[in-house]
Chains A and B, each alone.
Chain A
């Protein structure tokens, strides 16, 4: 199972929005609504930010939103804040296990 494709980097100024794409196939992203997104700060464990394409777990700011169209899922961070600077990974169910994306480093300018 190949990793889902994400852009290596994305950036925005404080207060702006940034959108990260996550492209897979009909066998993963396109076939299931079990797409999730994770935030990872250096030296820390990943943190679940979005599950089931667009659901925010308790405690995750509503600045974070998710969507999906066909084989591509997206994470949008609105109103960027300094603490949003981190690596972001998408993940999708594949019918057995899960596959992760290649990761995107978000920089707050």
Chain B
């Protein structure tokens, strides 16, 4: 069964840092382009950023609201995706999903991990 499982969410103070993880199984992770998508409470979906497969350069792209504060990385030996978040703001409060990008769509989604930024 293809599965993505996020972890690492929690409560953090403004200005703090947090590291999210996404464990993949049932797919060829080394070939997967991985994206983090977030959803603030009661709001819509927003692309946080993406990392390409190493065979395609392994490069990253970030959305404007998080550029310079968030870093996406991957460990293909562990089938794992990471999102390092720093200088967190209240507006970063959201459910964070990892997802696979395939032919112009996001076809596999995890269940999400909730990040709450509050003092």
Contact = CB atoms under 8 A, between A and B. Distances in A.
Nearest to A1: B64
Given A34-B105, A45-B109, A100-B37, 12 more contacts: A45-B110, A46-B37, A46-B45, A48-B106, A51-B104, A52-B104, A55-B103, A89-B44, A89-B45, A97-B35, A98-B35, A99-B47
Contacts of A35: 104
A93 B49 contact: no
Interface residues of B, number: 24
Interface residues of A, number: 28
Contacts of A3: 44
20 contacts: A1-B63, A1-B64, A34-B104, A35-B104, A38-B106, A45-B111, A46-B97, A46-B106, A46-B109, A48-B105, A51-B102, A52-B104, A89-B45, A91-B45, A96-B61, A97-B63, A99-B47, A100-B37, A100-B44, A100-B45
Contacts of A34: 103-105
Nearest to A49: B105
Interface string B25-52: 0000000000101000000111101100
Interface string A56-94: 010000000000000000000000000000000101010
A47 to B, nearest CB: 7
Contacts of B37: 46, 100
Contacts, number: 68
A101 interface: yes
Given A38-B45, A97-B49, A48 B103 contact: no
Nearest to A89: B45
A98 B63 CA distance: 9
Interface of B: 35, 37, 44-47, 49-50, 61-64, 97, 101-107, 109-112
Q: Which of B45, B49, B112 has the most CB of A within 10 A?
A: B45
Interface string A18-35: 000000000000001111
B104 A36 contact: yes
A36 B104 CA distance: 7
Contacts of B106: 36, 38, 46, 48, 91, 98
